[in-house]
Amino acid sequence: MTAEPYVPAHGGLRALAEASRDYQGCDALEEAGIDRNAAYLTNAVKHFKFVPEERGKRRIHKKPSAAEVRACRPWLTAELRTVKPEIVVCLGATAAKALLGSDFRVTADRGVLLDFPELDELGPQHPRWALATTHPSAVVRAPDRRSAYQGLLADLEVVASAL
């Protein structure tokens, strides 16, 4: 799948923001049995920063600092209070650590439905479960993309069966 059909030819940032609501990136949700219309996708950390790659012109994403993760927490909790999801899927280590704690390791505990942590700022209306998996960008960078994709898909199938 490519994003090309979703990218507007004109309209600048506003048009891109509107178009991004319809583009969800890959077919893994549907392959796992999750209806895209029932899924709400967000990002635990709203910062995007990069460092230029030394070998060329590519931009390499740079992990957000702990301060940036903390700064985004009110936004994430506001989204969780508004959407009231049953399950929160943490895509990648940064999202998992932001929600499940700094000791959480995606490599050790991915694909496991966990009780959602008690967060004071959410009160009694918190999600039932959390699940962490690899970030989809890790699939793209993996030496064996097919195997990495199958791992992501298996994790999402856990979510689909719980719903």
Residue 133 lies in a domain: yes
- Spatial distance between the Cα atoms of 17 and 12, rounded to a whole number of angstroms: 9
Lowest mean pLDDT among 43-47, 85-89, 117-121, 127-131: 43-47
The whole-angstrom separation of Cα 122 and Cα 65 is 23
Q: List the CATH number of the domain containing 84.
A: 3.40.470.10
Using 50, 70 and 90 to split pLDDT, how confident is the model at 53?
low
Phi, psi dihedrals of residue 79, rounded to the nearest 5°: -65, -45
Residue pointed to by tokens 């048009």: 15
Q: Is residue 94 in some structural domain? A: yes
Whether residue 158 is contained in a domain is answered as yes
Residue 109 lies in a domain: yes
Residue whose token pair is 């994003």: 3
Q: Look at the pTM and tell me if it is higher than 0.85.
A: no
3 state SS of 111: coil
Q: Is residue 15 part of a domain?
A: no
Is residue 21 situated within a structural domain? Answer: no
Structurally, the chain folds into a number of domains equal to 1
**What is the domain range of residue 38?**
27-162
Q: Tell me if 8 is assigned to some domain.
A: no
